[in-house]
A and B are shown apart, each in its own frame.
Chain A
Amino acid sequence: MPPFPKKWLIVLLVLGFGIPLLNPLMPDVVSSYRLFLVSTMIIAAIAVLGLNLLTGFNGQISLGHGAFYAVGAYAAAILMDQYDVPYYATLPIAAVICFVVGYLFGQPALKLEGHYLALATFALALSVPQILKYKWLEGITGGVQGIVLSKPEPPFGLPLSEDQWLYYYCFIVMVILFWISHNILNSRSGRAMMAIRDYPIAADTMGINLRLYKTVTFGISAAITGIAGALSASAIAFVAPDSFNIFLSIKFLIGLVVGGIGSLAGCVVGGIFYVLVDNSAQALSTFIKNDLGLQFDLSAYTVFGILLIALMYMMPMGIVGGVYAAMRSLRRGSKGPAPSERPAVAASKPAASRQGH
C-alpha cells in the first residue's frame, strides 16, 4: 500500500474540522442532516477499518463483523442505560469487551481457513440478533423492544449543536483509530500480520507466532468495529435486534471491497460509498421507473450488485487501488517511472495476487 501523501492528509483534517463550523452560517449547505449523514459515514468507515485489519491485512475473511458491531452497540447502550456511564466512557469499555469476544472467537477460527472461516463468521452474524432476544438476557438487552437512549450533549458548554458535536465526536475517534492502525501496520507486528497473509508458511518459518498474531488481530479488529457500534448507539440513540441483521455485515464487506482491501484510505472511501449508495439507491430506482419508463423495482442491494460487478471489472483493487493505479500510469506516461515508485509497485503485487482468491 503506498502511503497517503502527508500534505493531503493535513488538508483533509483541516477541512474535516473546519467545515462543520459553517453550519450556523450556511444552514442549507452544511445542514444538520448532512452533518448527521457524514457522522454515519464516519461510523461506517471505522467499522470497515476493523474489518480491513482482519481481512485486508491479515487475510482472514469475516462475513460476521455486524456481530461485533452489535456487541459494541449493546455494550455501550447497556452501560448508558443501566449504569449511567457517560457516553464517551462507553467507548473504551465496549472496545475491551469486543476485543475479548473477538479474541475468543479467534481461537476456534484458527482451525478454519478461507471459506470455512467466512461461513463460521456468517453464522455468528445470524445468531447475534437471536441471542439479543434471548429471554435470560432480556432484562439487560430490553429484548425485542431494544433500548432507547439520549443523544450526546456538547461538553464544557461548547456552543455547538447536537449534530455538530456528534460529528466532532465521531471524527476525533476516527482520526485516533486510524492513527493507531497506521502505527500498528507500520510496526514489526503489522509487518508480521501482512507476512501471515501473504506467505503463512514462510512467516511461520521466520519465527512469527501465527496463533498469537491471528487471534490478537481478530481481537483488535473486533474492538475497532465494536467502537463503531458504540458510536452508532450514541448517534441513533436507540438499539434493537433489528438494527443488526445479516445485511449489516454484508455492507461492511461491500464497503471494504469497494474502498480497497488492504488500504487505510480505502476504509474511508468504502464507508462513504455504502452509506451513499444505500441512500441514493431508491432515488435511482424511482428515476429509472418514472423518468426512463423502465418497469424495474431496483432495491438498494440490486444497485450494490450492479456497482460491485462494474467496479470489479474496472478497479479490481477497489476505488483507492484504482486511483493509485491511474496516478501511476499517468506519471509513467508523462515522466517515465519515478524511481521511488518502483518498490511500492513491487510490494503491492503479491498482495494483489493473494486477494484475488
Chain B
Amino acid sequence: MKKTNRRTFVAGVSAAALLTSRSVAFAQKKYDDGASDTEIKIGHTNPYSGPASSYGVIGKTLQAYWKSVNEAGGINGRKINFISLDDGYSPPKTVECIRQLVEQDKVLCTFNTLGTPCNTAIHKYMNSKKVPQLYVATGASKWGDPKHFPWTMGFQPDYHTEGVIYAKHLLANVKDPKIAVIMQNDDYGKDYWEGFKEGLGKDASKVVKHVTYETTDPTVDSQVIQLKDSGANVFFVIAIPKFAAQAMRKAGDIGWKPTIYLNNVSASVASAMKPAGFENVQGVMTAAYLMDPTDKQWDSHPDMKTWVDWMKKHNPGGSLSDASNVFAYAVATLMHETLKKCGDNLTRENLMRQAANFQKWKLPLALPGITVSTSPTDFYPIQAVQLARFKGETWELFGDIMHAESS
C-alpha cells in the first residue's frame, strides 16, 4: 500500500470528522428493513377464506384503518403499507405467508396476526429473525413471555386471567356453589377452563359437571339438559356467541335458573343476548374491556361517536353492531400510537422498546378506567377487566376495575 503522507492523512481525518458529524446530525433517523423516509411496511395474516373466514371482518377493518391513516397524511409523514395475506387459519400456510412477508416483502414488523395455532407456528421463527410480532389477535396466555420471546407481544386480556376472575368472584359471592361448565372443545375453551380451575384452587371439586361441544354441533341442547340434571346452581358458559345464546335460552326454557357467568367473547348484545331472549339472561355476568357497539349506554360516548363516524366514512361495508370491528379499530389505534412514538427511529429494536413502554395510555373504546400499560417485563398490554351484569337490554358495569396477573 502507498505510504500515507501528511496531506492525505489530514484529508482523511477531516473527511472522517465530516462523516461522523453528519451521522450525528441524522442520528435520529434510523431504519431497519421495511421502514424508510416515505413508508412503513407492516405484515398481517388473517383467514379470509376457509372455515374461520368469519374473522375476515377484522382484516378488512384493519385495512380500512390504515387506508384512512394514509389519507390523513400517514404517521410522521410516512405512509403505511399494510400487506394482509390470507392464511385460511392453517398454520403451515401462515408460516409460508409470514416468510413471504419477512423475507420477500421485508416488512418492519407483523401486526395482529390472527389465531392461536397460526401464531404458535411462527412464534419461534419471528423471534429467531428478531422481527416484532406485535399485538397478536389471540387470547391465549403465552404471548407475554419477554424472557424467552422478546419479539412477541399480545394485546387483549388473556382468557386464562378472565377465567380466574370469574372463579374468584363466584367463590366470594355464591353460597355453597355447585358449578356446571359448558366449554368449546378447543384451545380457546381450554384456556378459560384452566384459568377457571386455577381460580377455584382447592374448590375445584365444586365443579359438578363439565361438558364440551364442537363448533360443528347443530345445538347444545342435550349438553344443557345434562348440566341441569347435575343439580348445579352456577353455570359457566365458555362458548362463542351462537352457542352461548343457545345454551342460555335452553336453560331458561327448561326452567333452570343458575347464576350464569358468560365469557367475554360472547358479551355482544346483538349476537348473543338478544337471540337468547332478554328474559332468560337477566343477571348474567361477564367481564368486559371494550365497549359493546350494541350497548345503548355508550351511544353518546365520544369514543363511540368517533368510531361510528369513522365506520360510516371509511368502512361503509362493515357492520356497526359487530364487536370485531370495535376490536380491530382499538388494536389498530394502539399500533398507530406505537409507531408514532418511534418517531424517526424506526428500527425493530426501538419498535419493541416503544411497545413495551406504555404507561396507563388511554385506549379508544376501552371501558372507562381501563388503560394500556407495558414494560420490558410486562408484555400484556391490557390486563384489566370490569364485571358487568345484564339488566333490561344492556350491560351494567359494577364493582371495581380488576387487575389480574396471569402466569
Residues in chain A within 8 A of chain B (CB atoms): 31-33, 36-37, 40, 130, 133, 143-146, 148, 232, 236-238, 240-243, 245, 247-248, 278-279, 282, 297, 299-301
Contacts and interface: CB of A to CB of B under 8 A. Distances in A.
B123 A148 contact: yes
A301 B95 CA distance: 19
A289 B252 CA distance: 47
- B interface bracket (residues with beta carbon within 8 Å of A): 20 to 34
Contacts of B90: 242-243, 245, 247-248
Interface string B104-117: 10000000000111
Identify which of A33, A148, A232 gathers the most chain B CB atoms within 10 Å of its CB.
A33
Secondary structure type dominating chain A contacts: helix
B86 interface: yes
Contact of B50 (A143, A145, A232, A245): A245
B20 interface: no
Contacts of B88: 247, 300
B121 A236 contact: yes
B91 A33 contact: no
B191 to A, nearest CB: 10
Contact of A37 (B50, B53, B96, B125): B96
Nearest to A147: B120
Contacts of A247: 50, 88, 90
B315 to A, nearest CB: 15
Nearest to B118: A242
Contacts of A40: 92, 96
Interface string B10-49: 0000000000000000000000000000000000000011
Contacts of A243: 90-92, 117
A145 B118 CA distance: 10
Contacts of A145: 116-117, 120, 187
B327 interface: no
Contacts of B116: 145
Contacts of B255: none
Contacts of B104: 31, 33
B256 interface: no
Contacts of B274: none
B306 interface: no
Contact of B49 (A237, A242, A248, A300): A300
A354 B90 CA distance: 35
B205 interface: no
